[in-house]
Structure 1
Amino acid sequence: MAPFTRFREFWPYYLQEHARAGTRAMHYAGTSMVVLLAVVAPFSGHWWLAAAVPVAGYGFAWLGHMLIEHNRPATFRYPFWSLRADFVMWYRFLTGRMGRDLARAGVRADGTVDPARRLHA
């Protein structure tokens, strides 16, 4: 498969790379910390908190990939789309729409991907 040229092509691949609920939970925790730090830092006067933003975001996500999903984060190949997808995934989780997206991407409830629908980057 050729490299992705549009986000809507990348999104199902991203979801397949986050098939396990634990991996997504690690991403949700990291993204929540990123948002919290970004809101708190300007009002607290502790600007060093801004330096913790990438550590929180990537730290939780990469641990999830290493310990739970056992794959290489999409960040290394698609850094900007992965960042965007992190926030899209977090928002869709908060609004209760992740299940539908996962099903459309071929991600099963048990955290596996339908082999016939597996996308490769």
Structure 2
Amino acid sequence: MDTTQTTTAPQADIKQMSSFAEFYPFYLGEHSNLACRRLHFLGSSLGLVCVGFMVATGNPLYLLLGLFCGYACAWIGHFGFEKNKPASFKRPLYSFLGDWVMYKDMWMGKVKVL
């Protein structure tokens, strides 16, 4: 499946989706804007850096900073560029997992960020 050029998915009732495999194509469709995907990549990267600082220093506040960075970048991408509401409002766990699967797919070249 080529996810480098996604289009906005038709409106679906994501609360009715019974598996992550069913949710993820919808999730990718909600990230069709390149700037939004880049902001997600930045937020996830900053989140990982903060987790590293938390491990290195033992300071749990870095975890909160990492979550803030990740969600702030993602929400700026959605509200400012994608012009949609983040899926995390309706399916927070699937959305959180989707962020990391998409991040991996970006590194693997399956989702375009450049």
The alignment's TM-score, normalised by the length of structure 2, stands at 0.81
Give per-residue Cα distances to partners, 1:17-44, cap 9 Å, x unaligned.
1011111101000000111111121213
- Structure 2 regions of 5+ residues with no counterpart? 1-11
Residue of 47, 68, 87 corresponding to 1:55 = 68
Q: Is the Cα contact below 8 Å between 2:40 and 2:99 reproduced in 1?
A: yes
Count of residues in correspondence between the two structures: 99
Q: Are positions 1:87 and 2:100 aligned together?
A: yes
Larger Rg: 1
Q: Which residue of 1 aligns with 2:8?
A: none
Q: Which residue of 1 aligns with 2:35?
A: 22
Per-residue deviation, 1:45 = 4.2
Distance 1:64 1:50 in 2: 21
Distance 2:30 2:110 in 1: 18
Q: Which of the pair has the greater relative contact order for Cα pairs under 8 Å at 6+ separation?
A: 1
Q: Are positions 1:31 and 2:44 aligned together?
A: yes
SS of match in other structure, 2:85: coil
CA RMSD of aligned residues (A): 1.3
Runs of 4+ in 1 over 4 A off after TM superposition: none
Distance 2:93 2:30 in 1: 16
